[in-house]
Amino acid sequence: MVATTPSPARSNAMSACCPMPRVLLCSAILVAMIHGVSNGIRADDSEAVTSDPAATDTEPKPDGGLAGGCGAGPFHRKVVRVHSQPNLRHATPRYEVTFAVSPGDAALNALLEKPLPEGGIEAMNESPLRELHALLIKKLSVPVCIDTRALEDAGIDLDVPITSPSINTGSLGDTLTRVLSRIDMAAIVENETLTLTTTDRANEKLIVGIYSLPTDGLSPRVGNLIDVIQSTVAPETWDTFGGQGAIRPLHEANELVISNTLEVHMETIAFMRAAFDTDLVASSDRIEGQVPVRVYRLRDATLAKELATTLPPLCNGALGKAGDPEATVTLFGNDRLLVQSASRPFQIYAGELIRSLDGIDVPGDFD
């Protein structure tokens, strides 16, 4: 994680606003107000917004200020009840990401996520860069070019030697990163072409990816997931640490919108696949007879009772051949649903359908 320190200007501004020893307390209040945007806040209001102080991060004082001082108030956080729509495109056997690019670029991005072509990448011993270029053209049968202008600016010659062992495992994107990073280069996708360029040039090109939420992330506290990604996956690239990359939740669609370089997207996708819903992905190490369970607590006990019987046919009717006729839903207590299915498409769609019908409370603006 990259440590950050406040600038002198910011420190002076805080000192001017609040005399010591209130500075630390005021800072804590402001940080809580700002970062509370990413935390789930529950409210009793059934539809749009509320200014109920119980649903805020701050406690108003009798004189209208904030408890602890520093500034006038009150500052109440509005809370919005969202009924997001379930999306069949999220209900895939394996976690997938959609990039906001042309169809040709999307196909190349998908190619980079796939395993290496048959035969892998042959070992290179002081082989020139141009030889790797020719090998990729032969192996991939897609347009591959070298960004000669960027290489010239960086002082990298086309005959720069590359040394790499034979690589037969992992994705194509991971392999190119391992090989090219040794000479401060990277692979990017632009204009329906796989381009070999410098690391600096690659870091300038941001692309937008649409990430669906895993069942583990179907919660109003999606801000926790955002914090984990920004703190563990290339931390220095995110705007919270001074970089250009950004993550924003799109609650209405059960998605995260992420803008960053292709390399960071590949790392983020790998993280999402390794961290979430791993028990829902078919694998050779799953013990026969194991059936994963997801537990949901609903605010509406009547709805929970109805879904205990209607959720399986609703999901299977929508999923078609991707459904799970063996899936079961059990009402536990008055307001909890236990969804049991080894099918990732079924579990994802069931989770999104529950989220849509029961609704979630997400933070809105301040008054």
- pLDDT score, position 337: 97
Residue 275, burial from CB neighbour count under 10 angstroms (0-12, 13-18, 19+):
middle
Residue with tokens 């989770």: 351
Name the token pair of 126: 């002081």
- pLDDT score, position 14: 41
Q: Are 256 and 219 in contact (CB under 8 A)?
A: no
Q: How many CB atoms lie within 10 A of CB 282?
A: 10
Prior bond of 165 cis (ω within 30°)? no
- pLDDT score, position 175: 84
The residue type of 307 is L
Q: Are 98 and 63 in contact (CB under 8 A)?
A: no
Name the token pair of 212: 């669906």
Q: Low-confidence residues of the chain, pLDDT below 50?
A: 1-72
CA distance 360 to 120: 46
Supply the angle between the helices 172-180 and 103-113 in degrees, to the nearest 10. Answer: 80
Q: Which residues face 348 on adjacent strands?
A: none
Residues ≥6 apart with Cβ < 8 Å to 241? 1, 2, 4, 230, 235
Please give the sequence-ordered ranges of beta strands (E in DSSP) within the chain, or none if there are none.
77-82, 97-99, 124-128, 144-146, 161-164, 185-190, 193-198, 207-212, 246-250, 255-260, 293-297, 328-332, 336-340, 360-366
Report how far apart the first and last C-alpha atoms of the chain are (Å, whole number).
33
Supply the angle between the helices 172-180 and 262-275 in degrees, to the nearest 10. Answer: 130
Name the token pair of 323: 């459904």
Model pLDDT for residues 148-207, shown as the tens digit of each residue: 999 999 999 999 998 877 666 678 888 888 889 989 999 999 999 999 999 999 988 999
CA distance 360 to 226: 18
Collapse the DSSP code of 241 into the 3-class scheme (helix H, G, I; strand E, B; otherwise coil) and give the result.
Answer: helix
Domains recognised in the chain with CATH numbers: 8-82 (no CATH), 114-203 (3.55.50.30), 283-366 (3.30.1370)
- pLDDT score, position 327: 97
